[in-house]
Structure 1
Amino acid sequence: MATMTAPTTEWLAARGWKAFPFQRGVWREMARGHSGLLHATTGSGKTLAVWLGALQTLADTEVPLTVLWVTPMRALSQDTLLALQDAAATLAPHWTLAARTGDTSTSERAAQQRRWPTALVTTPESLSLMLSRADAPEVLKRVRLVVVDEWHELLGSKRGVQLQLALARLRRWNPALMTWGLSATLANLDEAAETLAPGAVIVRGAQDKKILIDTLLPARIERFAWGGHMGLTMLPAVVKHIDAAASTLVFTNTRSQCERWFQALLEARPDWAGLIALHHGSVDAEARRWVEAAMKAGQLKCVVCTASLDLGVDFLPVEQVLQIGSAKGVARLLQRAGRSGHAPGRRSRVTLVPTHSLEIVEASALRAAVQAGHIEPRRPPDAPLDVLVQHLVTVALGGGFRPDELLAEVRSAPSYRQLSDEAWQWALAFVRHGGESLRAYPDFQRVVPDDEGVWRVPDARLARRHRSNIGTIVSDAVMSVQFLTGGRIATVEESFIARLRAGDVFLLGGRALELVRVEGLTAYVRTAKAGQALLPRWGGGQLPISDTLAGAMLERFDEAAQGRFSDAEMRFVAPLLTLQAEWSALPGAQRLLAEVLDSNEGRHLFLFPFAGRTVHLGLASLLAWRAGRDTPATFTMAITDYGLELLSATPIDWAAQLRALLAPVDRATLREEVLASLNASELARRRFREIARIAGLIFHSHPGEVRSQRQLQASASLYFDVFREHDPDNRLLRQAEAELLSAELDVDALGRALARMAAQTLDLRQPARPTPLAFPLLIERLRERVSTESLAQRLARMLAELEAAAGGDAPAVDVGSRLAFGDVQDKPASHRTRRRRR
């Protein structure tokens, strides 16, 4: 078959387009029936490459469900569907296209099942739900192509594992199935391709897209800066930047920051009402779709958003992207930059808006990493048993299974390639009777073999319960927020609403709302009167900086130590770095900086590994535990992305002990030490709740019943305690501990950090006062101990004293107003100051 058919040539020519070489390469491979991974920059034509290949290769067929297009977010399904329909209308007019996600209405689902479309846009969860249908083998064996959009977004998650298992099932029914993945930001391409489809080819697309990365520098440098701000001191500059462009996306890292910036922009420019909009995951789906459509039509000047617009949505009119605060990683920055200039040949532009001085160094490091082509790898999870257990029940519903046959199928999924026979037998026993400790309870006899040896779900009630809870996106339960008079506003995490009392005011959807009452999973509100609003405190804001970004930052410090400031950002931040070098030293790729300072509080150790918050949390706990084994002591801890502080009331000779306390150990020993240094039991209990949900031990919703987050936690805790007492070798308990160590504490990254520090030269300094790098750690700790008013007063005094010692003026920033009016981002308790007694 030719690489491009005449109708395709004519369709492209009618639009003034020509096929790129990488697109022709995809069409060649698809014509040969090969699976593959297409890696190209955002906006370079990836979707068109695979979709035109599908239309050329498969257009002669009119079989229902010929193509499944899997998107990582259901919010992208309609946009994806619109993108596919244009070419299909001309090149395959006999095809029908539809979307099927959690947002699809019951009536539309029923209509699809009466006559399935030729191509279906769906999500991993909805695909698993289709696998649970009794007629799944008959319906899905006709699928000839599965396209996985934004594969990098799924690769490193349990949702990606769920998709691996679904693809293994489809390949069993159709061994000739083609699987194609699309990605723009991946480093480990070979692993990503093999995880998607064994033997998949890699097609590399255009990687020369021009990306302009610049920084919106503040009016003056703050030599003593602290993190956690909303960044609103940059508001005038941001307003000016937005005003100069026709269209802008303003990305924030949290929904609370998104809400606050939206309000601040409206307050600064009331004439922009109706021209700027808000977009995040808690905004109502209809409102989000309106924003997306209005932005595409060029009707909006600016959208303030979160990761809800990171992926897939094609905003051709967007002229520029602003990133408030650090993007935390190279891949995330590239993904967001690609939202502008989202078309072949167009330049993407992202402007970084630092919220504190050290983020200016991050900005320089990010650009250097992009120019060097350094991107973070994504690693698939290793054989999560909770996902496997869920899949076993799904397959038992979808026609049943024979264990030996299914084991071979499961092991064909790369994440389960090394699945042991013991783990497989445990999973079978768990779905058959809940394991040894739950054998007596009928609700856990979910899957049983029939007389012919086929394992099925015999209980219709259990079948309905499983189908209503399929999915591995486990997060805080959500509540609907609506006006007393009617009208749904948005959804918000239950844990946030649970902290409020009637009469409390909060921001949501760009409005100040007063909570009136809560009924079930609905919070009733009314428009608040003028007054101070309580900011929503959603999770997600404390993503650690990546190893790639941290390494690039240390290279910037090395250059600064040699007196080289190579770009505008580094020249701007030179006064801070120069002062740091004068009072102490600068960290570097081969130099581990530690500072010991005595104050009336005790002895402070400041250590700067630049390994990110997650690693620093484990490292601080580990150091305190190791230091306290011989000499009992009380430690107060604080962490940032750049370093950690340990404060002890009793003197500790860090100069003599630190190198030994940082000694690397083997993986097993490190795991034991980390678990011993933390309240690991309580952390594992919380992790177990999410595993229990996926594995089907607890359910967020039963037919006719929805359970609260508090009920779920209570149920999960009960199972946790039962297993620990009566079934201590339960593999879900082991998984909770393993995930705690790998995901929340990242022990492997901690081990790498210890090994890296062991190879570095330890540079221990004893400055006379807090240095510019140490100052943010002091503020982290003070935030936990004093009120906002007291903190403002103390901050102002400290800044005045430090600036005086540095030979400068007092800072121009009004510290009190910054704290009082919400220019501080809330910190999850797990990442705040920790107190450790030894």
Structure 2
Amino acid sequence: MHSTPTLTPSKQVDSYFESIGWKPFRFQRSVWRSYQKGESGLIHSATGTGKTLAAWMGPILSWLKQNSDQSRWNPKRPPSVRVLWVTPLRALAGDTESSLRGPLDGLGLPWSLESRTGDSKAGAKARQLKRLPTALVTTPESLSLMLTHERLLPQLAGVEAVIVDEWHELLGTKRGIQTELALARLRRLNPHLRTWGLSATLGNLEEARDSLLGVTPTTPARIVEGYKKKRMKLESIIPPRVDRFPWSGHIGTKMVPQVAERLEQVTSALVFANTRSQTEIWYQHLLKQRPDWAGKIALHHGSLDTSVRRWVEDGLKDGTLHAVVCTSSLDLGVDFTAVDLVLQIGSPKGAARLLQRAGRSGHRPGAESRLAFVPTNAIELIELAAAQDAIRKGHLESRPLMNKPLDVLAQHLVTVAIGGGFDSEELLEEVRSCLAYESLTDAEWRWVLDFVVHGGSSLSAYPDFHRVERDGDLYVVKQRRTMTMHRMNIGTIVSDASMKVKYLKGATLGSVEESFLSKLNEGERFLFAGKLVSLVRVKDNVAYVKRAKGQPDSVPRWMGGRMPLSSELSAELRLKLQEAAEGKLVGREMRALKPLFEIQERWSALPLTNQVLIEQIKTRNGHQLFVFPFEGRLVHEGMAAVLAYRISQLQKTTFSMACNDYGVVLQSPHPVEVNRMVDEGVFATGDLVGDILSSMNSTEMAKRQFRQIARVAGLIHPGYPGQRKSTSHVQASSNLFFDVFQEYDAGNLLLEQARREVLEFQLESTRLATAFLRIENSELLSRKPAKVTPLAFPLLVDKLRERVSSESLSERIARMQQQLEKAADQTAG
């Protein structure tokens, strides 16, 4: 549809919306008006309610007003670059591009629109270096890379708007901070730059806006609220028989028949699992249940080859695929108007994530989102009930922000030094305009500057670490090798080194972490990309495989599979338990758990929100001490270590431990005198950080964290493409730096950062302190039940898992469940 010249720009846009059967929402018009006034802001609206068009139509309207004479439009000579669209995943770039192309074609605009990501072809990138398209879809990494090309800077100075998609995904991460620094640079090039962020489901909106727009915004800054509440139908697929003694870790595959039944009732669906390993297992089980679905259901996760992912995304769009089993790789921005049901396997561990996933169905304004929840164990039903309450109350998760990571800053300094150089005072002012670096001190700035110029005090004798040099008033990079190496390794995504997985003859399946493959012997079978393959050999950083038959020996375990319970959901969960203790079972999920609650009450207790339950049970393996704070796995890991450390200071004993989202278990050969321990302050908040560091192998953890920091800061690099260094080589290099700094440069700020990140991100020390404070001020319910209770059972299973092989584990658990069920029936009688 080409617009007629008589229509005003606003009418042309209205006419376009009409042609696709929509009418602009009030919040979209509000964004367009703000944009025309030169304002920046954050658009906060539920998934699938029109955020993309709210942001995209601003620049289009602005251009239409400036170029009303259509006779002068020339598609062969598109306007110079005006809009950068930053997406968090390069896998989304193609999809985003097609979403943005619709209005351009519909309005007949002569704009050029292209992508520039790690997946883009070299020829396209070279062409873009000469002339950027009118609108460019890119990633944080590619945006930083563009800043290293001095000849692009005059073009980038002409950019009118940067739109950052899915800002809630980048917020509080090093990639988000990399984006903040790049935005500060673009604002230096064009002080009138308009910046808009798109975000769904977020608790700390003001912080999100300030980190996106900087602490001293050059343009007025707004938050535009769109549709926070979409029509939503959340339901649970409740097992026919709810285990009174549930356990986690069997991935709920008993529910496959019910899931298959639900899939039959809809045209298209997404089946979300929380980890890549789970997707592989569920995909296989669904195919086993319904062999006739081969070719109609598919698998999608971030480790699959780009071509495989594209095929799946296209199959969903054109309706040839009935269902896709996926992880959060399909959680973001990919537009599937066709999907009419989302199934969530296992608890998503946060209310915001549940909303985000539900929004993938009915992904268009006005449509109802439908999500069916599939518990992997009975207790997860409480989590869904708690998540629904949190959503109703608007208690959505905040993203905690990172404070001045110096590794990202060091990388940025080299980036800017390559892209034409910088004046120290000017760049410091620019960096401090970022919320993350607002409190950066002069001493810290000088340290980072010295680090990129001389390698810091301990590496000044090694020319390899003299990356930036002084040239008059400017700091620049002159060495070609430094430029090449930096450009190849730009970015902050640091995962365990991954290896390509390829058939001996033919296609690449994807990549898997080197640490998994290093444990496999030749001939061992594993599930990958929905296929059973066996390892033939590993050569030149490629794992060659062939098709296999029979049963898998293992399923790849990717890093990042640990999703802890959010603090908001933890609080709601404790409220649901209080309701159960008071006999109020609201909703199908809570009513289904009535038999479990009854036994827990009869044998021990259900804690109120101002109480913490402690259970002591003697089993044949020793004395078990269970503590139930319901604070989430990460907090409990730190808590278990601190409690074991503190108790062993007071009583000579050794502990082994396990934890889940609900509590911790400490097993020892001797009974623990709980009352004495409480009186002696084992739950006290005093000297908590000291005890955390004493109770854990904090040096080893800091070393592991430092490996990532060293890589981002440019101390170590994985090597050239095709000549990647092994993980063990990179690990050895980073450990060497760690030891050298520890011995000869104790004040090294990167070491300090590693310790801080371990405390804050791996051990959640702030949340841990809050949890200890809450327990200190709570009533402790100390119980000694005769049998293992429903709440304690899953923890005992996790404890067993360490010592029993997986085959015999399920038999052993089934026996234990049987005995407990029998005892429960007897006590009921």
Q: Aligned match of 2:433 in 382, 390, 412?
A: 412
C-alpha change, 1:276 and 1:703, in structure 2 (3 Å) is closer
**Alignment partner of 1:748 is 2:753:** no
- Report 1:37-436 matches (<5 A): 37-59=42-64, 60=66, 63-91=79-107, 93-197=109-213, 198=217, 200-436=221-457
Greater Cα shift, 477-486 or 439-448: 477-486
Please report how far the alpha carbon of residue 721 of structure 1 lies from its aligned counterpart in structure 2 after TM superposition: 0.7
Separation in structure 2 between the aligned mates of residue 622 and residue 748 of structure 1, nearest angstrom: 14
Letter in 2 for 1:278: L
Letter in 2 for 1:186: L
Separation in structure 1 between the aligned mates of residue 479 and residue 660 of structure 2, nearest angstrom: 51
Greater Cα shift, 653-662 or 146-155: 653-662
Equivalent residue number for residue 655 of structure 2: 635
Letter in 2 for 1:420: T
Please report how far the alpha carbon of residue 12 of structure 1 lies from its aligned counterpart in structure 2 after TM superposition: 1.4
Greater Cα shift, 787-796 or 474-483: 787-796
Please report how far the alpha carbon of residue 363 of structure 1 lies from its aligned counterpart in structure 2 after TM superposition: 1.4
**Alignment partner of 1:27 is 2:47:** no
Q: Is the 8 A contact 2:38 2:194 kept in 1?
A: yes
Please report how far the alpha carbon of residue 209 of structure 1 lies from its aligned counterpart in structure 2 after TM superposition: 1.0
1:85-138 residue CA offsets vs partner (Å, 9 max, x unmatched): 110124362210000000001011112223210000000000000011122422
Separation in structure 1 between the aligned mates of residue 635 and residue 537 of structure 2, nearest angstrom: 41
Please report how far the alpha carbon of residue 608 of structure 1 lies from its aligned counterpart in structure 2 after TM superposition: 0.5
Letter in 2 for 1:505: R
1:19-71 residue CA offsets vs partner (Å, 9 max, x unmatched): 11101100110010000000011111110111111100134476422100000
Separation in structure 1 between the aligned mates of residue 40 and residue 744 of structure 2, nearest angstrom: 47
Separation in structure 2 between the aligned mates of residue 64 and residue 356 of structure 1, nearest angstrom: 56
Equivalent residue number for residue 819 of structure 1: none
1:406-448 residue CA offsets vs partner (Å, 9 max, x unmatched): 0000000110000011110110010001111100001000001
Separation in structure 2 between the aligned mates of residue 283 and residue 3 of structure 1, nearest angstrom: 47
Letter in 1 for 2:748: N
SS in 2 for 1:634: coil
SS in 2 for 1:436: coil
1:185-228 residue CA offsets vs partner (Å, 9 max, x unmatched): 11111111111114520110012311111100001010111111
Letter in 2 for 1:296: K
Please report how far the alpha carbon of residue 664 of structure 1 lies from its aligned counterpart in structure 2 after TM superposition: 3.8
Q: Is the 8 A contact 1:464 1:703 kept in 2?
A: no
**Alignment partner of 1:690 is 2:708:** yes
Please report how far the alpha carbon of residue 774 of structure 1 lies from its aligned counterpart in structure 2 after TM superposition: 0.6
**Alignment partner of 1:552 is 2:539:** no
- Report 1:758-797 matches (<5 A): 758-797=776-815
Q: Is the 8 A contact 2:643 2:683 kept in 1?
A: no
Separation in structure 1 between the aligned mates of residue 740 and residue 347 of structure 2, nearest angstrom: 43
Q: Is the 8 A contact 1:98 1:117 kept in 2?
A: yes
1:752-801 residue CA offsets vs partner (Å, 9 max, x unmatched): 11111122221111111111001111111111012234434432332222
SS in 2 for 1:595: strand
1:370-421 residue CA offsets vs partner (Å, 9 max, x unmatched): 1221110012210000000000000000110011110000000110000011
Please report how far the alpha carbon of residue 551 of structure 1 lies from its aligned counterpart in structure 2 after TM superposition: 1.2
Separation in structure 2 between the aligned mates of residue 722 and residue 66 of structure 1, nearest angstrom: 48
Structure 2 gaps, min length 5: 1-6, 68-77
1:690-739 residue CA offsets vs partner (Å, 9 max, x unmatched): 00000000001236631111111011011011111111111111111000
Letter in 2 for 1:28: R
SS in 2 for 1:437: coil
TM-score, normalization: structure 1? 0.94
Separation in structure 1 between the aligned mates of residue 719 and residue 543 of structure 2, nearest angstrom: 18
Equivalent residue number for residue 821 of structure 1: none
1:319-378 residue CA offsets vs partner (Å, 9 max, x unmatched): 100001111111111111111000000000111100111011111111111122111001
Please report how far the alpha carbon of residue 599 of structure 1 lies from its aligned counterpart in structure 2 after TM superposition: 3.2
Aligned Cα root-mean-square deviation (Å) = 1.6
**Alignment partner of 1:731 is 2:736:** no
Separation in structure 2 between the aligned mates of residue 704 and residue 223 of structure 1, nearest angstrom: 54
Greater Cα shift, 700-709 or 751-760: 700-709
1:476-507 residue CA offsets vs partner (Å, 9 max, x unmatched): 11211111112212121112111111101111
Separation in structure 2 between the aligned mates of residue 112 and residue 401 of structure 1, nearest angstrom: 24
Q: Aligned match of 1:494 in 514, 518, 522?
A: 514
Separation in structure 2 between the aligned mates of residue 779 and residue 284 of structure 1, nearest angstrom: 36
TM-score, normalization: structure 2? 0.95
Letter in 1 for 2:650: D
Equivalent residue number for residue 621 of structure 1: 641
Please report how far the alpha carbon of residue 655 of structure 1 lies from its aligned counterpart in structure 2 after TM superposition: 2.1
Greater Cα shift, 367-376 or 570-579: 367-376
Separation in structure 1 between the aligned mates of residue 551 and residue 207 of structure 2, nearest angstrom: 53
Q: Aligned match of 2:728 in 690, 710, 713?
A: 710
- Report 1:479-628 matches (<5 A): 479-628=499-648
Letter in 1 for 2:477: V
Equivalent residue number for residue 11 of structure 1: 16
Letter in 2 for 1:209: K
Q: Is the 8 A contact 1:637 1:645 kept in 2?
A: yes
Separation in structure 1 between the aligned mates of residue 520 and residue 805 of structure 2, nearest angstrom: 20
Greater Cα shift, 793-802 or 218-227: 793-802
SS in 1 for 2:650: coil
Please report how far the alpha carbon of residue 541 of structure 1 lies from its aligned counterpart in structure 2 after TM superposition: 2.6
- Report 1:461-476 matches (<5 A): 461-476=481-496
Letter in 2 for 1:173: L
Q: Is the 8 A contact 1:248 1:322 kept in 2?
A: yes
Letter in 1 for 2:353: R
- Report 1:803-822 matches (<5 A): 803-807=821-825
Separation in structure 1 between the aligned mates of residue 734 and residue 46 of structure 2, nearest angstrom: 43
Separation in structure 2 between the aligned mates of residue 787 and residue 11 of structure 1, nearest angstrom: 62
Q: Is the 8 A contact 2:181 2:431 kept in 1?
A: yes
Letter in 1 for 2:203: A
Separation in structure 2 between the aligned mates of residue 665 and residue 729 of structure 1, nearest angstrom: 28
1:568-627 residue CA offsets vs partner (Å, 9 max, x unmatched): 111001100111011111123211111122334332210001111111011011011111
C-alpha change, 1:90 and 1:221, in structure 2 (3 Å) is closer
Separation in structure 2 between the aligned mates of residue 323 and residue 45 of structure 1, nearest angstrom: 24
Please report how far the alpha carbon of residue 636 of structure 1 lies from its aligned counterpart in structure 2 after TM superposition: 1.1
C-alpha change, 1:702 and 1:758, in structure 2 (3 Å) is same
C-alpha change, 1:280 and 1:703, in structure 2 (3 Å) is closer
Separation in structure 2 between the aligned mates of residue 143 and residue 637 of structure 1, nearest angstrom: 56
Separation in structure 1 between the aligned mates of residue 46 and residue 811 of structure 2, nearest angstrom: 49
Equivalenced residues, count = 806
SS in 1 for 2:825: coil
C-alpha change, 1:808 and 1:32, in structure 2 (3 Å) is farther
Separation in structure 2 between the aligned mates of residue 108 and residue 620 of structure 1, nearest angstrom: 53
Structure 1 gaps, min length 5: 811-838
Greater Cα shift, 123-132 or 543-552: 543-552
Separation in structure 2 between the aligned mates of residue 499 and residue 547 of structure 1, nearest angstrom: 35
Equivalent residue number for residue 72 of structure 2: none
Letter in 2 for 1:492: V
